[in-house]
Amino acid sequence: MQPSEPSAAVQALMQASRAFVGITARSLAAVEGDVTLPQFRTLVVLAARGPQRSVDIADELGVNPSTGTRMLDRLIRKGLVRRTRSASDRRVVRLRLTTAGHDLVQAILDRRRTELERLVAATADLWRPVAIEALTAFAEAAGETAGDWWLGWDEGDDEP
């Protein structure tokens, strides 16, 4: 890689990042639920990782535990997340998506996917295997691995 290439790659990723944030913001605005971008990220963590302790969610998001707890409290009041106690150790409290939380995440992801499909179709001649491999490797290096988003999701667990 030549000296100017990393800088150009960073610049291109900065522009793509703004585009992705814009797509996500538009997707959030288009669905009911009144969820902020940080709250959506919290819902995605729960969707991707399954039930979590609040301290683990805060760590994943890179926020103080008290900030994470306040955000989770708001999501609980909105009916998107609920607390559950471990059957084996009643001291352990985990948070999980409710059906409404799951449905909201799915609706937002569906809207994002539709917009991304439109953009990929508009730039179809640029999507070579090397570009796809580079983006996949970038996402993996950032800890955003592909997988079953709903791992740990059990619709029967929604009821208190």
CATH number belonging to domain 12-143: 1.10.10.10
Q: What is the dihedral of CA 66, 67, 72, 78, to 10 degrees?
A: 130
Strand-strand pairing, 81-85 and 93-97: antiparallel
Q: Is 0.75 topped by the overall pTM?
A: yes
Tell me the domain boundaries of the chain. Answer: 12-143
- For the stretch 103-119, what's the b/e string if a residue is b when 16 or more beta carbons lie within 10 angstroms of its beta carbon? ebbebbbebbeebeeee
**Digits of tens for pLDDT over the chain (160 positions)?**
555 677 888 898 899 999 999 998 999 888 876 899 999 999 999 998 889 999 999 998 899 999 999 999 999 999 999 999 877 777 788 999 999 999 999 999 999 999 999 999 999 998 888 988 988 888 888 877 655 444 444 555 444 3
Q: CA 75 to CA 54: how far, in whole Å?
A: 12
